[in-house]
Amino acid sequence: MPATAASRERDSLEHEWSRLLLSLILPTVLAPNLSTVHASMSRASSSVRVSASHSVSSATASTWQALPTPFVLGPLDYLVPPFIPIAAIFVYESTADTAELVSFARLHHALARLLDHYPHLTGRLSINPNDHTPEITRLGAGVELVAATCSEHLATFNPTPSGHLSMLDLPQGGNDLLPPYDASPDGVCRDPLLSIQHTTFACGAVALAVRVRHCLCDAGGFFQLVSDLAELYRGEGADGQSARTGLAVPPCFRSFMSELCGETISEEARRDALAFQPSSMFLEPPSSAASVHPADLAPAAPTLVVTPAPTTGRVLYYSASSLALLKTEATSATPGSWVSTFEAVSAHLYQRVHVARLRLRALSPTNPSSLPLDFLTPASLRAFLALAPHYFPNALSTLSTTLPNLATASLPSLATAVHELTHAPPVLTSDTARWIAAQPDKSLIRDRFRYSEWSLMLSSWAKFDMYAGARFETEPSLVGTPFTAISTLDGLGYLLPDGRGEGGLALYLALKDPVWAVLEEDEEYGRYATG
């Protein structure tokens, strides 16, 4: 039986992960747990089959030919390891007004025109041997557009009485709908930067899966890219003869301060930039491991091997009414106090997950007794740095904190602390960006966030235009991000609109199985979320 996209991804990770981490990339919070990551899948699937794979380049070759090579990225892009992608699946269902959904031929044409506006995506990633930064070479090599079919009707994957689709119920938890992905060092530098899989179900429904390297853009840039593709598709015309090639707002795809990267920075500018001391980052001393001869190392003493519990991804649903209640209860009684919905959800989950982990530690002496319990969330720098409209590359600063008395603190005090974190002046400033750009070896840069099995990392995608912005013939009925072997990391979650048009939110969250078991018995946790 042909290997699924999920199995190919897991096999690649198992064999190549350590070499990738040690030789090519910046450190990441993923590193501690990658060997124990397991994707959550609701069904084994062999119903999705790839029928063709197309290489698509710019409709106008001069758009990528005009770019310098290598095409350098910017300091904000260097903070994301090159093997990590951003991926989302958009599911379209037939209506009385749609004779055809997301025509593959029209999509092919629109994608070529999209690359006229994002010509750097036609290249391939390479790792600069001098400073270990990712850069783009081989411009014009093209992106990947995969055609696939599912032998079953979409309704087959919708077992809920409510009739609402869930990402976890799709083939292999949505993983079979993703284009192939190879996270090995060879794959990172060989394969396209952008890949799209178009899957047609037996009923005519279509799933469009889009995957982009995260070192090229953040979630804001990702959904902007999808929206631009949909805009060009709608302007294409059913006959393909009356194409509107332009976008209402052209993107800015050159990274912030990229002019300081590569070998263009002067020695004086480098010296001035290196004199700055960032508060959110530091440099790890170069490893001395290479100078130690293996014969000088004493044999390691036998140690007790503890098999880590598997990590599972679940989708939690918050109705509009439960969100309103949670936000009210998370708001301090102090006059003028206010917290956002995301801050209220974050504070509540941070506490309940922590309490669940504490209960597990009390039940098992093998559980760690003292590990960092940092909370992390990214914040956009677009307004702070006055970036150009329709800015595509990464523009995020990661914010983190450790809240005292987490288990016993009141919910309003925790929500207030999260609010203060998200509204504090950004720690990643222009000076920090210059400091990153000036580093002679970017692989030594470290974030001060301390990941452990007690951490929680939440990102909000709730305000991105992922439904109306992804309208081809019709808006998608479901937008979600599947739990892959890379994204199923203990404590990592994404908050999205649930797509039901009722004001609710869906939280895609990965936790270790024993933690889920304890949470299921937690009445306070169950007051707000279902699923």
Q: What is the pLDDT of residue 357?
A: 92
Q: At what angle do helices 104-117 and 219-236 cross, to 10 degrees?
A: 120
3-class SS of residue 211? strand
pLDDT, one tens digit per residue, over 402-459 is: 887 899 999 999 999 999 999 988 888 899 999 999 999 998 999 888 888 889 999 9
Nearest to 364 by CA among 427, 301, 309, 299: 309
Distance CA 74, CA 41 (A): 36
Domains of the chain, CATH where assigned: 5-260 (3.30.559.10), 311-463+483-526 (3.30.559.10)
Nearest to 467 by CA among 508, 493, 503: 503
Answer whether residue 284 shows pLDDT above 90.
no
Question: Which region among 239-243, 373-377, 428-432, 477-481 has the lowest average model confidence (pLDDT)?
Answer: 239-243
Q: Output the six-digit token pair for 283.
A: 């440099």
Answer whether residue 39 shows pLDDT above 50.
no
Distance CA 445, CA 75 (A): 11
Nearest to 29 by CA among 378, 414, 331, 298: 378
CB neighbourhood size of 299 (10 A): 5
Q: What is the pLDDT of residue 34?
A: 37
Q: Is 189 left (phi over 0), alpha (psi -120 to 50) or beta?
A: alpha
Q: What is the pLDDT of residue 95?
A: 74
For residues 369 and 82, the model is more confident at 82
Mean pLDDT in residue range 163-180: 92
Answer whether residue 157 shows pLDDT above 50.
yes
pTM recorded for the entire structure = 0.88
Nearest to 142 by CA among 116, 165, 162, 171: 116
**Cα–Cα–Cα angle for 93, 118, 180, rounded to 5 degrees:** 55
Residues in the chain: 531
Rounded to a whole number, what is the largest CA-CA distance in the chain?
A: 74
| Torsion sign (Cα): 322, 325, 328, 329 | negative
Q: What is the pLDDT of residue 269?
A: 85
Q: Output the six-digit token pair for 314.
A: 């679940």
